[in-house]
Amino acid sequence: MLSKSQARSFFLGGTVVTFLAFIGLTVYSFKPSNDQSNHSQIDKKVVRGKELWESNNCMGCHTILGEGGYYAPELTKVIDRRGEGYVKAVLQSPVPWGPRGRKMVKYQMNNEDTEALIAYLKWIGKIDLNGFDRVVSPLAKDKK
């Protein structure tokens, strides 16, 4: 058992070591060489796509980077999985999209808005996810 002074020293030493590790990791993560956000590829189309994503409340049903609703498919790598043509067809469909009993609102987007949303999804898909995108769900295993 530790005496009071040993316990105090252990606590203070542990606090200092943890604090220094936290500061070191924070400084390391802010180095430009560690940037994984792909922010240099943001252009007006990507910004417009993000605005469309938010104004149409896509996150109410879909997820991107693990954030959002879990009703509809995850869209982080949707361009890689499905392709631009598929996404364009869904967004410009004149009828509500309804695979597997779920209904997606018919947006009937024009070409400019569709291209902007696709540019946003492409940009999101190029963010470095530290291998998260290689994790295979049990449902996806059967399709390969």
Q: Which domain holds residue 69?
A: 38-130
Kindly state whether residues 13 and 44 are assigned to the same domain: no
- Residue 59 is assigned to a structural domain of this protein: yes
This prediction's pTM: 0.70
Kindly state whether residues 52 and 118 are assigned to the same domain: yes
In tens digits, what is the pLDDT along the chain, a chain of 144 residues? 889 999 999 999 999 999 999 999 999 888 877 777 777 889 999 999 999 999 999 999 899 988 888 888 889 889 999 999 999 998 988 888 777 777 888 888 899 999 999 999 999 988 877 766 554 444 444 444
Kindly state whether residues 45 and 86 are assigned to the same domain: yes
Kindly state whether residues 50 and 16 are assigned to the same domain: no
Q: Which CATH number goes with the domain that contains 62?
A: 1.10.760.10
Domain count, the chain: 2
| Conformation bin of residue 91: beta by default, left when phi > 0, alpha when psi is -120 to 50 | alpha
Kindly state whether residues 120 and 99 are assigned to the same domain: yes
End-to-end CA distance of the chain: 57
